[in-house]
Amino acid sequence: MTISMTDLPEALQKLFLEIEQTSQPVTVIHEGKAIVVISPAKPVKSRPGPGAMKGQGEILGDIVSPIEQPWEVLQ
* Predicted confidence (pLDDT) per residue in 3-51, tens digit: 666 777 888 888 888 888 999 988 888 888 888 888 998 888 888 888 8
Q: Return the pLDDT at 59.
A: 84
SS3 of residue 13 by DSSP: helix
If you ran DSSP here, which 8-state letter would residue 46 be given?
A: P
Determine the Cα–Cα distance for residues 51 and 36; give it in Å rounded to an integer: 42
* Position 64, amino acid: V
Q: What's the predicted TM-score (pTM) here?
A: 0.48
